[in-house]
Amino acid sequence: MPRSHAPSRRHAERHRTQRVGWLRAAVLGANDGIVSVAGVVVGVAASGASAQVVLATGVAAVVAGAMSMAAGEYVSVQSQADTEAADLAIERQELASEPRLEQEELAHIYVQRGLSPALARQVADELTAHDALAAHARDELGITESLRARPLQAALSSAAAFAVGAALPIGAALLAPLERVTLATTVVTLAGLLLSGGAAAWLGGAPVLRGALRVGFWGALAMAASHAIGGLFHVAV
């Protein structure tokens, strides 16, 4: 007797592309919060400013930076969302006016991806009958639900991550003696950047060490530049 096979349960798959929308904004925000605020703190401290001025400047940089990151991410991603909406509107109109040509276009796409003409036409027919706009959005325009532009999500992720990242140099400036602010901020910031870069690489499926060193290098370079510029204006405030 032929062996009967019970239907296998569908295995759950966890893909990292679903994190792209918020992960990119969060990583950018966190790294920018650490580097930019640390640069401000180190630069102002190197100029000979008092502890109160260093702290006030750092807090002001956190507020301004978080708002700037949120606004920048929202405007940028909203532009992408507007473009997607405009393309979908065009596609919707073409499907209404020339459905047969659109169906042939879909079949041609599948032939280019390796299907035989007969199978490509069958796939195009069935997907068109199911949801023509979704099929064209995915396979012609490259718009998928997991990668759709989400402006508000990007803005909130970026601003929150900026504030969290900026807490490291602010905390170092607050707790360290004035003569040690530069050293403390540098050490804490580099540690935070290494952790941030490594965590971002791990979440994205990239090599952790490479991601950590890449972020740490550019952060160290930014702080060195800020310290050098601050030293040019060595005045007591």
Can you say how many angstroms the Cα of residue 179 is from the centroid of all Cα atoms in its chain? 36
Residues 6+ apart with CB under 8 A from 14: none
Instruction: Enter the tokens of residue 5.
Output: 């096979």
Amino acid at 82: D
The fraction of the chain above a pLDDT of 70, given in percent, is: 84
Can you say how many angstroms the Cα of residue 110 is from the centroid of all Cα atoms in its chain? 31
| Cα(4)–Cα(205) distance, integer angstroms | 39
- Name the band, by pLDDT with cuts 50, 70 and 90, for residue 2: very low
Per-residue model confidence (pLDDT) at position 49: 78
Instruction: Enter the tokens of residue 206.
Output: 């990239």
- Give the chain's end-to-end CA distance (angstroms, integer): 92
Can you tell me the mean pLDDT for 77-88? 90
Phi-psi region of 48 (alpha: psi -120 to 50; beta: other; left: phi over 0): left
Per-residue model confidence (pLDDT) at position 237: 41
99-103, 130-134, 199-203: which range is least confident on average? Answer: 199-203
Per-residue model confidence (pLDDT) at position 131: 92
Can you say how many angstroms the Cα of residue 118 is from the centroid of all Cα atoms in its chain? 41
pLDDT of residue 11 exceeding 70, the answer is no
pTM to 2 decimal places:
0.65
